[in-house]
A and B are shown apart, each in its own frame.
Chain A
Amino acid sequence: MRRILLYAALVLIAAVFIMPLYWLFSSAVKPSGEIYRFPLQWIPRHLHWSNFTNAWHDAPFGSFFINSIVVTLIGTAIKMVLATGSAYAFTFLPFPFKRVFFALILGTLMTPGTITLLTNYLTASDLGWVDTYAGLIVPGAGSAFGMFLLRQQMKSLPREVFEAAQMDGAGHLRILVRMVIPMSRPMMITVTLISVIEVWNDFIWPLIITTTTQMRTLPIGLLYLKSQEGYNDWGAIMAGTVMVAAPMLILFLLAQRYIVAGFSGGAVKG
């Protein structure tokens, strides 16, 4: 009896989360006749790809894609270099008052993004960064959470190995690149993936810092598909939504373990 109830609950949970995702992908390939039908057309009669071409014509999804990819790749690369470098320095190098600097960096985790929104826009605008890749990338490129996760990881590495390497004449940079990074690989992957997801999904900053259609990123692109006059081409909107969501869903299916580890990092061990 208990098991039947548990299975019923499991099915309910799965349904609550699978059904919307199923609906997204199936609506993206339905012709409009089937989209607006009620009672619902649960299974598309046949796959119909014109929603994607319609979305592609309604707004320049090609440039949205390129912008999203460029911003995500470069943003993540900068974040990773900064996170890894700082984590190494805080773990292995001496510096006066280094705990103060560490606290300063971690403190940003408590600074709400809403408060920095307007003034960061003004700073970026003073720098001439409105509607540029620099404006999209640089303000978010500092790393606090990634640096913290990597430092936790580096602290757990066996120091004797590095001491031996130093005896043999290896410098810090060599130790970092040849030993510490390879030994921290799972955490490096985790931090990279979290950064990719964060940058790809970011909405409010790209919305305000870009002003021309050509500079928009994918999530903002969805706004172009919603019409102001009340009539919406839902097939095209769902096709656009698939373009925004699918890359991250695929990434998640491939690397679940690393992604979940990162999001729950620090939550459980306390």
Chain B
Amino acid sequence: MTRALTGRTQLPAEPAPETRTPQRRWRRTLRRHGKEYLLFAALVGPNLALILVFSYWPVIYNCYLSFTSWDMISPAPTWVGLDEYRELFTSADFGHVLLNTVKFVVLIVVGAIVGGLATSLVLNQRLVGRGLARTVSFAPHIVSGAAIAALWLFMLDPSFGLVRALLEPLGISSPQWTTSSHYSLYALVLVYVWKGIGFSAIIYVAGLQNLPADLFEAATLDGANGWQRFRHVTFPLLSPVTYFLVVTSVIGAFQAYDVTAVMTGGGPGQSSTTLSWFIYRQAFQASNAGLAAAAAMVMLVILLTITMLIARYGERRVTYQ
């Protein structure tokens, strides 16, 4: 009974000589655990099947498609080797898209994490109303990106938008946020940072509450001021949280679609097109399956490289308590 519950197959301490052959041992295990194996298969099988079909197979299939040219209408993709990759890397458009993606991801990740950390330091103080502030700052995270985007599109309107009303007293005239190629990408960044700050703030608050108080007392006794305590005690102790947030926000920013779709559609021109939007457009608007698949492979390689770098460099810097 215990054996079944711990889920470990323990062999008898002294196996009888006749059970030593693998086949017999297997048969004995089956006799003992057969029912549990069946139940395991019934419980895990459907989940695993869905994951194999809709998470692993598409990656393999995508890899194959990236070596083909296909308009998604003709019966079969044509094998073209590295042609689609060559086309990607020789087109000026794609270089522009990659540059946009770098700006976009870096600004969102840094903005949401730095903003979230600063916010969490305030929200962690004993202040009247901090509960409300925590709730409202996290709320954008659970609302659909499409809705957030529609709301911000309205607020950023240069003639009657809320943002214009806030900027005017400061002597700043509201730019054409979404229709000018200078600002469109930054308008998207602004919205994603706004959406992301509350999330990182709440994760940081949870981290701050887990920190041991005695370290701060010791630092205070040693005469460390507020900034020094933050710099040398709080921030290093929060490094696992920062690490988690960097990894999840990089992956999230690379795959952002919804705000782009509603606010700018990647435009004007290519000015706010990032890699994920480029892939979507190539696949579903230009019916260019091979090129989209090749761009998706580029994204996969970039993401794997970044996560590996973060894991390697990050692990060394992360301080666990």
Chain A interface residues (CB < 8 Å from chain B) = 3, 6-7, 9-10, 13-14, 16-21, 23-24, 27, 35-40, 82-83, 85-86, 88-96, 98, 101, 104-105, 107-108, 110-123, 138-144, 147, 159, 162-163, 166-167, 172-173, 197, 200-201, 203-204, 207-208, 218-220, 222-223, 225-226, 234, 237-238, 240-241, 244-245, 248-249, 251-253, 256, 259-260, 263-264, 266-270
Contact = CB atoms under 8 A, between A and B. Distances in A.
Nearest to B258: A203
Interface stretch (B83-91, B215-223, B276-284): B276-284
A198 to B, nearest CB: 10
Interface size class of B (residues with CB under 8 A): 35 or more
A83 B46 CA distance: 10
A93 B43 contact: yes
By DSSP majority rule, is chain B's interface helix, strand, loop, or mixed? helix
B4 A112 contact: no
A201 B51 contact: no
B276 to A, nearest CB: 5
A85 B35 CA distance: 16
A89 B40 contact: yes
Question: Which of A89, A101, A162 lies at the interface centre, i.e. has the most chain B CB atoms within 10 A of its CB?
Answer: A89
B160 A35 contact: yes
Contact of A240 (B3, B150, B307): B150
Nearest to A88: B43
Contacts, number: 315
Interface string B218-257: 0000000000000000000000110011000001001101
A203 B8 contact: no
Interface of B: 1-9, 33, 36-37, 39-44, 46-48, 50-59, 61-62, 65, 72, 119, 122-123, 125, 127, 129-130, 132-133, 135-148, 150-152, 154-155, 157, 159-160, 162, 164-165, 194, 198-199, 202-203, 206-207, 210, 240-241, 244-245, 251, 254-255, 257-258, 261-262, 275-276, 279-280, 283-284, 289, 292-293, 296-297, 299-300, 303, 307, 320
By DSSP majority rule, is chain A's interface helix, strand, loop, or mixed? helix
A252 B142 contact: yes
B165 A222 contact: no
Nearest to A68: B144
A115 B283 contact: no
A107 to B, nearest CB: 8
Contacts of B145: 201, 203, 219
Given A27-B154, A249-B142, A17 B136 contact: yes
A23 B307 CA distance: 38
B50 A24 contact: no
B123 A98 contact: no
Contacts of B202: 260, 263-264
Nearest to B198: A17
Nearest to A18: B136
A94 B37 contact: yes
A264 B5 contact: no
Nearest to B320: A270
7 contacts: A89-B40, A115-B62, A115-B300, A203-B146, A208-B284, A240-B150, A260-B206
Contacts of B251: 112
Nearest to A37: B160
B280 A112 contact: no
Contact of A38 (B7, B160, B198, B262): B160
B47 A116 contact: no
Contacts of A253: 135
B89 to A, nearest CB: 18
A39 B159 CA distance: 10
A138 B129 CA distance: 43
A13 B137 contact: yes
A21 B139 CA distance: 9
Per CB-CB distance, the 4 closest pairs between chain A and chain B, nearest first, are A142-B50, A119-B58, A85-B43, A116-B58
A241 B149 CA distance: 9
A24 B136 CA distance: 14
B154 A203 contact: no
A201 B51 CA distance: 21
A91 B251 CA distance: 29
A222 B240 contact: no
A93 B51 contact: no
B44 A114 contact: no
A151 B62 CA distance: 31
